């Protein structure tokens, strides 16, 4: 459970910072596959890599492992979810608009 939680936090903080897996891997002298496995909760980083990970991501070990809330991440996830909701609503409105236009064309209206 800790591996999955840490992987979720690692992935989302990395994305929040705008870092690719490859970028993080290069900063830590690891492979992209290692970062992927950590993020998926398949493996955990070695103990000696925890502080370097935290330094690159600018979080504490307690935040990385989910023992303390990472407020910046929580705010980022809320904003991301809100943006996704808005995007879905926009897509629904676009579909409705297309339907109305097709209906108006079919009935000879402008």
Name the CA radius of gyration of the chain, rounded.
Answer: 21
- Whether the model clears a pTM of 0.75, i.e. scores above it, the answer is no
What pLDDT score does 110 carry?
56
Q: What average pLDDT is seen over the chain?
A: 92
Measuring CA to CA, which residue among 35, 30, 34, 6 is closest to residue 20? 35
Q: pLDDT: is 3 or 7 the higher one?
A: 7
Least confident of 8-22, 46-60, 71-85, 90-104: 71-85
- Cβ contact 9:73 at 8 Å: yes
pLDDT band at 109, cuts 50/70/90? low
DSSP character at residue 12: H
Measuring CA to CA, which residue among 44, 41, 23, 22 is closest to residue 33? 22
Q: What digits encode the pLDDT tens for the residues 24-60?
A: 999 999 999 999 999 999 999 999 999 999 999 999 9
Give the separation between CA 48 and CA 86, rounded to whole angstroms: 42
């Amino acid at each position: 459970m800790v591996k999955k939680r840490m992987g979720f936090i690692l992935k989302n903080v990395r994305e929040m910072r705008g870092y690719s897996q490859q970028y993080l891997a290069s900063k830590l002298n690891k492979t992209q596959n290692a970062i992927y496995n950590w993020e998926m909760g398949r493996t955990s980083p070695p103990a000696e890599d925890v502080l370097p990970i935290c330094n690159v991501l600018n979080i504490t070990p307690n935040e990385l492992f989910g023992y303390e809330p990472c407020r910046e991440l929580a705010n980022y996830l809320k904003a991301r979810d809100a943006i996704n909701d808005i995007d879905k609503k926009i897509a629904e409105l676009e579909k409705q608009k297309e339907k109305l236009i097709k209906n108006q064309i079919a009935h000879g209206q402008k």
